[in-house]
Structure 1
Amino acid sequence: MLALEDIMRAKLRLEPIIEHIPLSYAPKLSKILDAHIYLKKENLQRTGAFKIRGAFNKIALMQERANNQTQKPPQDNAKNHAPTGVIAASAGNHAQGVAYAAQYFALPAIITMPESTPLLKVQATKELGAEVVLSGDNYDESYAKACEIAKKRGLEFIHPFADEAVMAGQGTIGLEMIAEQELDFVLVPIGGGGLISGIASAYRALSPHTKIIGITAKGAPAMRESFASGKIKNAAVVRTIADGIAVRDVNPLPFSYIQEGVDEILQVDDEEIASAILYLLENQKLIVEGAGAVGVAALLHKKLTLPKSARVGVVLSGGNIDVTMLNLIIQKGLVKTMRKFQFQVLLVDKPGALQTLSDLFVKAGANIVQIDYDRTSTNLAYGDAYVIISLETKGAEHKQSICQSLLDHGYDFKEIF
């Protein structure tokens, strides 16, 4: 595992820039699971994710080494000269971490990102002074582009997870959690594996009884399959709403730490991730991205058997979710929990027909949020109209009573969602 001393030194380097956010007890989630659940809210870090820790530690260490070299004879200076600039490949959160650290140390930075990276993350990275290059369909293709640019322009590459200095920076999360609360389990998202490698190293040194549980997205299965088989198995394709952990290929360095320090790896699918995002928004008042919500998803969907009153820490790794994705998750969640209901009803196209229908909804206590009126469809008989109505409802029982009321009043309707 990583040396505890390296993680502790990283903690000292990070003191000036890290937000010190204590573990937060989650009472509703704890009641559901009959356990004690604590959230590590890295979504509230100044760049919106934990990645600032590893990136800053790496660049700060590079600067320290360069400064030490200047005090040595000239012939040694070439070995560890100060970088003229840095480059990174990232789906977004590492990008902002590197951009922030580069700006802090007055270094130019280039970030390559997959072309599908949410606009929020692209803009946030540019605002921190970095040049952004969009390239490839996933992290691995973007990584190849970054390596190409680094070679051409002589830039120092900052790897998002396959770097011990980066891992040590992420491991400071473990130090903070250990100092605050004795835990039986810690749930950590896994993409490339740098975060869980750092956290597992801290726990193995200071709290070896704590079980370290990794969580992957079903659409990015490489690390879980590799862990289960004991050998690296890369994925052919990656597709998940958890873009922060959408890594196709397993890197040998973090994989070796994961094999040694992680007890189990679980997986959750996109529906489960979406439900966790919505749960955290409604019940914890937290905006968390897909990668950051996988631990809560695993708990909500009972992927892990917990002893009664177990003490569980869950790392919410980031909150940089695209607003269009968040809106989609909210709308789908409302439909799934039957708090939104859309249907098409056939009306006779005459004055007062729509008023009569809307009066029915008033009596049922349902709020109309949208109406579309169509009297020109070729499927309609002359004198008829289709009305598509979206209602706010209060759950399954309320929705069923509305449907029954429509039938009792003779309306021909078809549910859309």
Structure 2
Amino acid sequence: MDLDLTRIAEAPSLIDPVFLTTPQFVDEQLCAALGRRVLVKIETLNPLRSFKGRGADLLAREFEPGTRLVCGSTGNFGQAIGYAAARHGLSAEVFVPAGISPVKLTRMASYGVRVHEAGDGRAKEAAREYAAAHEGSVFVEDGRHPRISEGAGTIGVELLAAGEIDTVVLPVGDGALITGVARWIKEHAPRTRIVGVCAKGAVSMINSWRAGRVMPTGRADTFAEGIAVSSPVPESVNRMRPLVDDMVVVDDAAMLAAMRTALATLGVLPEPAGAAGLAAIAVHDLPGEVLATVVTGANTTPAAMAAAS
């Protein structure tokens, strides 16, 4: 296991405080709507509207000023890399697929990111090629670098401060969140179960977790672009195998319903991927008396916002 517990413990002293100690609480209206006792953690009240800043900020500290960070992203990771690059004297080039959320494009540009549109399914490949061809550039990939997962692991540190949790339910995109959180929780609360959530139209991660090797699929078919993974990162799959107890899927309708539930009970409108944990609790009979989940992002597209309102 390449995720280091000491580095996770030290991370809160290094990561930009704007991303840390996010609200986590039990909301009685949410519990009534879900029919379960749920601790919810809100990771949307920061400059990025997502949890991604924790890992990106920790990673950016590894590079010399002037380094160009290059990545492929559907938006939230690209924002995080742009924010962290600006904070640490770096620059950022982000390759995106066509048709991503205009909200995310605008926010990336606001952090000084140079955005490049790549062909369908080629964002990461194009980013790798660009980094290899340009001196001073480094390709960074969400889910691959240990520092990204270790930064996300600080969410696990904060969750356990709330007390005993039977099951933690987390959306799974490239896997940095669930592996970082699970690494900490499995060490300090080994009886707590870790359950990952994938979109029904993007099952490559759940298939890979079950098989113990990367199982690519065709193009993802889901409006939850934050978890629309079709070719998993091998390092992430390897970490998930010993850390994750179960994986479930939710369809777009369940995520849309969860977005509406969050808005009605919490006053927060997640993006579809950000509501995947809530959706899983609503539709699956997950074990435990006390469950926890994370609202991971709120960069909602205008279309999804209109549908949820």
The answer to whether TM tops 0.5 is yes
Q: Secondary structure at the match of 2:206?
A: helix
Alpha-carbon distance, 1:232 to partner: 2.4
Q: Secondary structure at the match of 1:14?
A: coil
Alpha-carbon distance in structure 2 between the residues aligned to 1:148 and 1:279: 42
Q: Equivalences for 1:293-308 in 2 at 5 Å? A: 293-301=275-283, 303-307=284-288
Are 2:176 and 1:194 aligned? yes
1:17–1:329 Cα change, 3 Å: closer
Select which of 206, 217, 222 maps to 1:235: 217
Alpha-carbon distance in structure 1 between the residues aligned to 2:119 and 2:295: 27
Per-residue CA shift, 1:44-64, capped at 9, x if unaligned?
Answer: 23210011111110011334x
* Residue matched to 1:289: 271
Q: Secondary structure at the match of 1:165?
A: helix
Alpha-carbon distance, 1:306 to partner: 3.5
- How many percent identity over aligned positions? 29
Alpha-carbon distance in structure 1 between the residues aligned to 2:20 and 2:180: 18
Per-residue CA shift, 1:249-306, capped at 9, x if unaligned?
Answer: 12211111110100000000011111111111122211100111011111122x1333
Are 2:57 and 1:59 aligned? no
Alpha-carbon distance, 1:33 to partner: 4.6
Determine if contact 1:35/1:306 at 8 Å carries over to the other structure.
no
Per-residue CA shift, 1:119-174, capped at 9, x if unaligned?
Answer: 11001000011111111224xx1001111111111211221111101111111111
Are 2:109 and 1:126 aligned? yes
Are 2:109 and 1:109 aligned? no
Per-residue CA shift, 1:51-97, capped at 9, x if unaligned?
Answer: 1111110011334xxxxxxxxxxxxxxxxxx5532111111110111
Q: Equivalences for 1:243-392 in 2 at 5 Å? A: 243-301=225-283, 303-307=284-288, 310-330=289-309
Structure of larger gyration radius: 1
Q: Equivalences for 1:24-103 in 2 at 5 Å? A: 24-63=25-64, 84-103=67-86
Aligned length: 307
Determine if contact 1:219/1:240 at 8 Å carries over to the other structure.
yes
Alpha-carbon distance in structure 2 between the residues aligned to 1:305 and 1:176: 22
* Residue matched to 1:415: none
Alpha-carbon distance in structure 1 between the residues aligned to 2:244 and 2:32: 27
Alpha-carbon distance in structure 1 between the residues aligned to 2:211 and 2:112: 42
Alpha-carbon distance, 1:312 to partner: 0.9
Amino acid at match of 1:324: A
Alpha-carbon distance in structure 2 between the residues aligned to 1:43 and 1:177: 16
Q: Secondary structure at the match of 1:61?
A: coil
Alpha-carbon distance, 1:224 to partner: 0.8
Alpha-carbon distance, 1:181 to partner: 2.6
Determine if contact 2:30/2:261 at 8 Å carries over to the other structure.
no
Amino acid at match of 1:316: V
Determine if contact 2:98/2:120 at 8 Å carries over to the other structure.
yes
Amino acid at match of 1:85: R
* Residue matched to 2:19: 18
Q: Secondary structure at the match of 2:238?
A: helix
* Residue matched to 2:160: 178
Q: Secondary structure at the match of 1:134?
A: strand
Q: Secondary structure at the match of 2:169?
A: strand
Alpha-carbon distance, 1:241 to partner: 0.9
Amino acid at match of 2:291: V
Alpha-carbon distance in structure 2 between the residues aligned to 1:16 and 1:32: 32
Q: Secondary structure at the match of 1:312?
A: strand
Amino acid at match of 1:118: S
Q: TM-score, normalised by structure 2?
A: 0.95
1:16–1:296 Cα change, 3 Å: closer
Q: TM-score, normalised by structure 1?
A: 0.71
Are 2:207 and 1:225 aligned? yes
Q: Secondary structure at the match of 2:194?
A: strand
Alpha-carbon distance, 1:34 to partner: 4.6
* Residue matched to 2:8: 7
Amino acid at match of 1:54: G
* Residue matched to 2:130: 149
Alpha-carbon distance in structure 2 between the residues aligned to 1:192 and 1:268: 17
Determine if contact 1:116/1:137 at 8 Å carries over to the other structure.
no
Structure 2 stretches of 5 or more lacking a match? none
* Residue matched to 1:386: none
Amino acid at match of 2:56: A
CA RMSD, aligned part only? 1.5
| Greater RCO, 1 or 2 (C-alpha within 8 Å, sep 6+) | 2
Alpha-carbon distance in structure 2 between the residues aligned to 1:35 and 1:318: 22
Alpha-carbon distance, 1:326 to partner: 1.3
Determine if contact 1:292/1:315 at 8 Å carries over to the other structure.
yes
Q: Secondary structure at the match of 1:62?
A: coil
Alpha-carbon distance in structure 2 between the residues aligned to 1:296 and 1:87: 32
